[in-house]
Structure 1
Amino acid sequence: MKRLLPWLLLLLLSPAQAQPVRLGLYHNPPKIMADAQGQPSGIFGDLIGEIAREEGWQLEPVPCQWQQCLEWLAEGRIDLMPDVAFTEERATRFDFHRTPALLSWSQIYTLSHRRLTSLLELDGKRLAVLRGSVQQQFLGQLVDSFGLRVEWLPVDGLDQVFDAVASGRADAAAANHFIGNQQAASRDLVASPILFQPSKLYFAVPAGTNPALLARIDHHLQRWQSDNDSRYFDILTRWSGRPAQPLPPALWWSLGLLLSALLLAICFNLLLRRKVAERTLSLQASEHRLNTILDSVEACIYIKDEQLRYQYANRRVCELFGVTPAQILGQSDERFFDAETCALLQQNDLRVLQQGERVAGEEVNGLSRNGERRTFLSVKLPLRRPDGRIHALCGISTDITEYRRLQEELHQLAFFDSLTGLANRRLLLDRLRHALAGSQATGYQGALVLIDLDNFKDINDTRGHDCGDQLLQQTAARLRHSLAGTDTAGRLGSDEFVLIMEDLSPRQEDAVMQVRNRVRQLLERLAVPYEIAGKEHRCSASIGIAMFSDAQGNIDELLKAADLAMFAAKADGRNTLHFFNQAMQDDANRRSRLEHDLRLALERDELELHLQPQVDAGERITGMEALLRWQHPELGRISPADFIPLAESSGLIIPLGDWVLAQACRLLAEWRREPAMARLGLAVNISPRQFRHPDFVAGLQRLLQDSGVDPARLELEITESLLIDDIEQTIGRMEQLRRLGLRFSLDDFGTGYASLGYLKRLPLSQLKIDQSFVRDLLRDPNDEAIVRTIIALGRSLDLQVIAEGVETAEQASRLQELGCTAFQGYWFGKPDSTRHWHARLSDQAETEHRAAGD
């Protein structure tokens, strides 16, 4: 408070009275240095000079060495220090303005004959650094994380850093690139490709002093940086720009020689054209005879040049395109075929022209003039000049459309049911054999669904076989509408149909639920009345289901299991489904009941949020994670591991996630009025399906506006599975939410699919070490190495790293030794109700208040 009084008094003085500002001045050109009169110069010197003139400050330079400057700033012997990079440690001693004055990075410099190409080559080297600099702090943490041995040579001045390398006392120097590039050039040093620590540089004041001074600096920097013609960019150009050099005479001579060569080439080209014209006349007679022969062949014969333009086409090509020869020459395939055909033709043609291959095969081409698709057997050969260079291709394409159509008809008769068009028994057994083999190879589940129409005999007996056939055809059509991408539907005979479902979930419980849900929808679709011969007819079905795992690869056993399940469905009263395995049936019923009860739980308010604390290195609670809990009125406490996957598979995760976000905003709004809770943040898990919902961003924005909470207090935890599909859309949505003020944490980091290339593009504020690595941290060296790497990665990306699942004091201690500063787990507090944590934190705050009063 005593430090603030002089500045508060100065703000009340007349504007005409100059305000003295003691400025730390050390030698670090071109960023900061003293000019011939001892006044501040360089980028920072000119910037503060401009601000001082506009504000009426009187700058008093205080010369000092870098480390000495920082000590004097902390002691209050100087008021303002330029060119200071922000670090967490410095933030405890100094205050910084918000807008960076300059963006910078650091680099390693060596002698030209001792070049370094990677950070790992620093092992065993002597490294000169400025004493107390951020370069030393950052590199120290980085080399420790990789287990490198580096001999440090700290010195007091930047000149001494580079002198140490030039004299051989050090192998390499670490410095900011501004001064590094200048110093290296004068000492025969070169910059290595090792770049590190992108930094934001500021002016700094002693902690707790001069907020008005920083506010005015921010004001000018923000105003200047938004104007490309401002003094800010003039200063940057003056200290980093280079004057343009006139073109040397040698270049003018080179341009003249090139122009002469071009004229000679043009003349030579004209001469060649004349020779070609003469030879063309002599070839015309031979060409006429050849055209007569080629036009009589019942195949498309053509020649294309290197740009894939037609240079020749016989009579059959003209008939195919419906144009004259003159209308074909010089045209490309885009003129005659659809886009898909053009892409395939270009791919094959380039193999001939660029690689000299002989390409032969079938081509299915779509004509643009009438949309007709025709099949050709094509052979394409490269045409070469005498020197061996390829200049064109010749193609011969025979139309085999009618032949392929006949083959397809024979195939249809052999493998498909003639009445319904579905796969017949022969094709079904073949598909089933491949499906079983694929399931065993990939681990994905599958199912055989046997469908029998209830009382089908009645329609045949009462209305005739024609009406029965119509019913079968309409049933087949409804089956087709129920197919997923890898499913197969077929007819075994009479009124029995089969559905083969592949690529279901690898987890058997989830696969059973997928089959059950889809088959129930199929039952509803088959129960819709049929329109047959102008009259309405109702017909249900009994369905038996056998999972691939029931038969262990045996087709006969699988068919028998599905048949038994189908008879069980008929015995249950028809118009129902039945699984072959009773245990599966019971489990499916249980999960179906849970899904039904979960929907009711949302309506009956049976769900609640529990909170688990997140603490810092001093075990102070800095935030909470919201965890969903369900107290079932009959079954008691339901584990999230049971109902969350069920919500994901059924789509309930969308309303469930909306409810959690609404409750989280309600809590944050209540905490604003509670001193013990007001400073806390709240983390909420977001599922990928919820995040990709079209209304997610807009809905969350409305929720924040309605509740009036500070978005910075809400943290969204996402998992790496969100990054698998459509990464660009994911990044775009995250940027939208970040602009609202929300923060993102990447949960379970290290267990998923995150690419480091994408990770640096994501607007994250935190990485969360998965509890599987923390659990065996003290026993498994691999887990410790992974944790160490994640902490180093987070530090290099300027992200906070928090470890979850911390259950013992030993784990917490070892994590701190590895550099982790944030924790979550049973050691610090188990998940409990909001009332519990509100009472505990309120009691804690009251105790601290009384202790402070005593």
Structure 2
Amino acid sequence: MLACWVGQADAQPLRVGVYHNPPKILADDQGRPGGIFGELLAEIAREEGWQLEPVQCQWSQCLDWLASGRIDLMPDVAFSEERAARFAFHRTPALRSWSQIYTAPDRQLTSLLELDGKRLAVLDGSIQQQFLAQLVDNFGLVVTWLPVGSLEDAFDAVIRQRADAVAANHFIGNQQALSRELVASPILFQPSKLYFATPLGRHPAVLAAIDRHLDAWQADEGSRYFGILARWSARQTDWQPPPVLWWGLAALVSALLLALGFNLLLRRRVAEKTLGLQASEARLNTILDSVEAYIYIKDEELRYQYANRKVCELFGLSQAQIIGQRDTRFFDADTCARLRQNDLRVLQQGERVAHEEVNYLSDNGEPRTYLTVKLPLRHPDGRIYALCGISTDITAYRQLQDDLHHLAFYDPLTRLANRRLLLDHLHHALASSHNTGYQGALVLVDLDNFKNINDTLGHDQGDQLLLQTAERLRQSLASTDTAGRLGSDEFVLILEDLNPHATEAVMQARDRAGHLLEQLARPYELGGRHYTCSASIGIAMFSDVQGHVEELLKAADLAMFAAKADGRNTLHFFNKAMQNEVNQRSRVEAALRQAIDHDQLELHVQPLVDSQACVTGMEALLRWQHPELGRLSPADFIPLAESSDLIVLLGDWVLRQACRLLADWAGDPAMARLSLAVNISPRQFRHPDFVGRLRQSLQHSGADPTRLELEITESLLIDDIEQTIARMAQLQQLGLRFSLDDFGTGYASLGYLKRLPLNQLKIDQSFVQDLLTDPNDEAIVGAIIALGRSLDLRVIAEGVETAEQAERLRQLGCTAFQGYWFGKPASADHWRQWLAQSDGVARG
């Protein structure tokens, strides 16, 4: 088929959409494609023997014709998920660009927030319009959109005052702004990659040829690619003053020289120097007033000698009103004392001081955080006569850091430590107990019948109960203890520095837990009424497990379930009797090992869908039907496997089956385009031979590695993050993609996300479950979607069970979904038949 198409390409010209967007794409005098994309395409066509047939059109018209197949190739198309559903793109970007806001000189904008209430001209259907629409909606801004057919019309709309500003890519924006005497604002957004695009499923050989040439040219700095870029860049900036200007200046100078004598010449030179200094000062003031920083100069008496526009705006005074004043006029006493101390270090000792300042204005008392650099100004002989300060307001940045830190380490509802922080504290507590000899205990608290409170009173009252429970836990803490929330109604206390003698330590833990049990049994005030909700407590001493965190958690969990079995509202210590359950788990482990060896497991799949409910991939889910034990849930045997090396064998079996499925799907038109996601446990991922085994499975099966997606959990990021990143990079080179599963449950350090080669975040289903009733869950989901968008990551919500949940997720900006609403896990054959008989759209 490829050979037939290439033969047809020789006979039939390649229809190329051409719209006017210089210098990237335009039609030359003969109507042929010109500009950067036009010349690149001409070079490729010449080497490939293509015949190009230019088709001139407006931007939105070009895209419609491309989608319908009326044109075969469209240059200068920015990639987006929405466009990827309509068009096919090559792999290597032909050009990189960004967008900017342009205004008239007398209507300049300095920040995105100033777009509120403004009229904004945009290219109809452009990616700038889509991106800005989402952005202003997120900030709650009101913008009047003026869609136009071409960017020339957009810039003309600003000239004719039909629009206040125009959004355009910087290539044509700078050119149009210069010719129309408009100015570029400091509002930059949406760095994008630009490609050639074809109708979806058409002309793959054309895209492959374009990639081949771009790869070769971009690797060679002397190639025709860089020559074309340099030539068109020169055309934008190459400007020479007209000769008449030079003649006029020469005539003026000659007339002055003839009219003035020697004395007048000297005076003129003095005047020129004075004017030059004044002009330089004016330019410098313009620059300093344009900088988004607070710049000021203080003399040796700490009086202001200069203040730029930002300082004037901060104090609400003119520059004349600020000059000569001291900090006591503007700040409170504590702030003035700190500022004076640092100022004197600069003036008296000549130090360069760089630090963070938290300042309070005297009139409103609101704290603002600044990153400040202060340096001495000296006379030619080295004497210090003043200081110059440059302060940048980082209040919003610090607040964002605090919010992200709290999201990463603390439960958003109760403000107690989350699972990640608890595990970290537990590691330190065990190490400290080992080093000091003092005993410790892990206390697991589970509220009895909490579900009944939620069902009868609603989730809002259930949240109030959790908040009051968290407060009672805080009141019971000693200075060295830690309290946290593990799950819905499950809390943890880490008791440290108990008596070194085991018997005494047990008694201390019992007394502390007994007192807590009494506190939790007191009535709670919910909605103006009193309700009683008891708790079951499980206690595991550090010495019970010899310093292993996971074993300690298991022991406390077993003890807690024993307390529930004893009738609830009681506490129970871990003891040897509970080992029977551990033995039962061992029997299940042996059965699981046999099931792996004899292929008694099944691999089911569940569909992943996009915003249009079209199936884009599948997730592999493990099922086990034991001949004696019956159907066992993955929740029963997966944790068991993870606690031993069995997870490595189980993971290898799943990956082999997944690769075989992908290879089988490649020959089926209904399945060939789908990706397959496989969950990878941390222990399996860290196995030294994991990469080699996976590579071997891919080679033996013949599966396309680009269709395989590995889902890792946030727990993988706890230990040795550098090794994790390196191993992910190895797998990425094979073509595999990565998804961060169960995101938001508290393990991941957000600072590592930008370093990980991730393609996707999966919102944990616990947030989706209460999305419609819990404002906290909705806020977390919105934050995760915004975070994914800012990091250029696809975000998928799992556990979507209702149409209402799916619709709310779409409103929050989510574009990918998984859950029972769109399809339950079933065999691969079931979904193969379903896709073959349907149009590939799930019921949601």
> What CA distance in whole angstroms lies between the structure 2 residues aligned with 1:83 and 1:847?
35
Q: From 802, 808, 815, give the equivalent of 1:814.
A: 808
Q: Which residue number in structure 1 is paired with residue 696 of structure 2? A: 702
Helix, strand or coil: the match of 1:30?
coil
Q: Is the 8 A contact 1:735 1:763 kept in 2?
A: yes
Helix, strand or coil: the match of 2:438?
helix
Distance 1:613 1:95, change over 3 A: closer
- Aligned-partner residue type, residue 590 of structure 1: E
How does 1:797-812 map onto structure 2 within 5 Å?
Answer: 797-812=791-806
Q: Is the 8 A contact 2:10 2:51 kept in 1?
A: no
> What CA distance in whole angstroms lies between the structure 2 residues aligned with 1:129 and 1:509?
62
Q: Is the 8 A contact 1:512 1:588 kept in 2?
A: no
Helix, strand or coil: the match of 2:617?
strand
Q: Is the 8 A contact 1:516 1:588 kept in 2?
A: no
Q: Is the 8 A contact 2:438 2:500 kept in 1?
A: no
How does 1:272-671 map onto structure 2 within 5 Å?
Answer: 432=438, 440-442=481-483, 515-516=544-545, 584-605=575-596, 607-617=601-611, 619-630=613-624, 636-671=630-665
Q: Which residue number in structure 2 is paired with residue 253 of structure 1? A: none
- Aligned-partner residue type, residue 588 of structure 2: D
Distance 1:218 1:843, change over 3 A: closer
Q: Which residue number in structure 1 is paired with residue 721 of structure 2? A: 727
Q: Which residue number in structure 1 is paired with residue 737 of structure 2? A: 743
Structure 1 unaligned segments of length 5 or more: list them: 13-18, 246-352, 356-386, 389-426, 449-485, 493-499, 501-506, 520-546, 552-579, 850-854
Q: Is the 8 A contact 2:441 2:495 kept in 1?
A: no
How does 1:57-456 map onto structure 2 within 5 Å?
Answer: 57=50, 59=52, 61-73=54-66, 79-91=72-84, 94-112=87-105, 114-206=107-199, 213-240=206-233, 432=438, 440-442=481-483
Q: Is the 8 A contact 1:625 1:682 kept in 2?
A: yes
> What CA distance in whole angstroms lies between the structure 2 residues aligned with 1:667 and 1:724?
32
Q: Highest Rg: 1 or 2? A: 1
Helix, strand or coil: the match of 1:198?
strand
Distance 1:629 1:131, change over 3 A: closer
Distance 1:514 1:845, change over 3 A: farther
> What CA distance in whole angstroms lies between the structure 1 residues aligned with 2:78 and 2:556?
63
Query: Structure 1, residues 223-276: CA drift from partner, whole Å, max 9, x if none?
Result: 32232221111111222257999xxxxxxxxxxxxxxxxxxxxxxxxxxxxxxx
TM-superposed CA distance for 1:87, in Å, is 3.8
Residue 716 (str. 1) matches residue 710 (str. 2): yes
Q: Is the 8 A contact 1:20 1:58 kept in 2?
A: yes
Helix, strand or coil: the match of 1:807?
coil
Helix, strand or coil: the match of 1:779?
coil
Query: Structure 1, residues 5-51: CA drift from partner, whole Å, max 9, x if none?
Result: 99854526xxxxxx755544333222123445655432122222323
> What CA distance in whole angstroms lies between the structure 1 residues aligned with 2:580 and 2:147?
71
Helix, strand or coil: the match of 1:228?
coil
- Aligned-partner residue type, residue 602 of structure 1: R
Give the TM-score normalised by structure 1.
Answer: 0.56
Distance 1:761 1:185, change over 3 A: farther
> What CA distance in whole angstroms lies between the structure 1 residues aligned with 2:434 and 2:758?
51
Aligned residue pairs, count:
567
Q: Is the 8 A contact 1:447 1:548 kept in 2?
A: no
How does 1:36-47 map onto structure 2 within 5 Å?
Answer: 39-47=32-40
Structure 2 unaligned segments of length 5 or more: list them: 241-348, 352-382, 385-432, 443-477, 485-491, 504-508, 510-535, 549-554, 560-570
- Aligned-partner residue type, residue 805 of structure 2: Q
Distance 1:666 1:642, change over 3 A: same
Query: Structure 1, residues 87-138: CA drift from partner, whole Å, max 9, x if none?
Result: 4454565544443321222222234555544434433222111122221122
Distance 1:584 1:168, change over 3 A: farther
Q: Which residue number in structure 1 is paired with residue 678 of structure 2? A: 684
Helix, strand or coil: the match of 2:214?
helix
TM-superposed CA distance for 1:594, in Å, is 0.5
Distance 1:737 1:169, change over 3 A: same
Q: Which residue number in structure 2 is paired with residue 393 of structure 1? A: none
Helix, strand or coil: the match of 1:181?
helix
> What CA distance in whole angstroms lies between the structure 1 residues aligned with 2:39 and 2:201?
26
TM-superposed CA distance for 1:780, in Å, is 3.1
Residue 825 (str. 1) matches residue 814 (str. 2): no
Q: Which residue number in structure 1 is paired with residue 400 of structure 2? A: none
Percent identity of paired positions between Structure 1 and Structure 2: 66
Distance 1:181 1:57, change over 3 A: same
- Aligned-partner residue type, residue 763 of structure 1: P
TM-superposed CA distance for 1:161, in Å, is 1.9
Helix, strand or coil: the match of 1:162?
helix
TM-superposed CA distance for 1:155, in Å, is 1.8
> What CA distance in whole angstroms lies between the structure 1 residues aligned with 2:502 and 2:350?
50
- Aligned-partner residue type, residue 651 of structure 2: G
TM-superposed CA distance for 1:711, in Å, is 1.7
Distance 1:37 1:11, change over 3 A: closer
TM-superposed CA distance for 1:637, in Å, is 4.7
Query: Structure 1, residues 764-800: CA drift from partner, whole Å, max 9, x if none?
Result: 2222122122212222344334434444544554433
Q: From 771, 779, 794, give the equivalent of 1:777.
A: 771
> What CA distance in whole angstroms lies between the structure 1 residues aligned with 2:603 and 2:350?
65
Helix, strand or coil: the match of 2:44?
helix
Q: Which range moved further: 183-192 or 204-213? A: 204-213
Residue 27 (str. 1) matches residue 20 (str. 2): yes
- Aligned-partner residue type, residue 585 of structure 2: L
TM-superposed CA distance for 1:671, in Å, is 4.6
Distance 1:585 1:174, change over 3 A: same
Q: Is the 8 A contact 2:123 2:129 kept in 1?
A: yes
> What CA distance in whole angstroms lies between the structure 1 residues aligned with 2:733 and 2:164?
45
> What CA distance in whole angstroms lies between the structure 1 residues aligned with 2:5 and 2:639?
63
Superposition RMSD in Å: 5.0
Q: Which range moved further: 656-665 or 669-678? A: 669-678
Q: Is the 8 A contact 1:145 1:789 kept in 2?
A: no
> What CA distance in whole angstroms lies between the structure 2 residues aligned with 1:40 and 1:693?
54
Q: Which range moved further: 595-604 or 727-736? A: 595-604
Q: Which residue number in structure 1 is paired with residue 368 of structure 2? A: none
Distance 1:631 1:738, change over 3 A: same
> What CA distance in whole angstroms lies between the structure 1 residues aligned with 2:502 and 2:4?
92
Distance 1:171 1:786, change over 3 A: farther
> What CA distance in whole angstroms lies between the structure 1 residues aligned with 2:667 and 2:611?
27
Q: Is the 8 A contact 2:538 2:572 kept in 1?
A: no
Q: Is the 8 A contact 1:445 1:548 kept in 2?
A: no
- Aligned-partner residue type, residue 103 of structure 2: T
Q: Is the 8 A contact 1:142 1:792 kept in 2?
A: no
Q: Is the 8 A contact 2:772 2:805 kept in 1?
A: yes
Distance 1:131 1:679, change over 3 A: closer
> What CA distance in whole angstroms lies between the structure 1 residues aligned with 2:50 and 2:654?
53
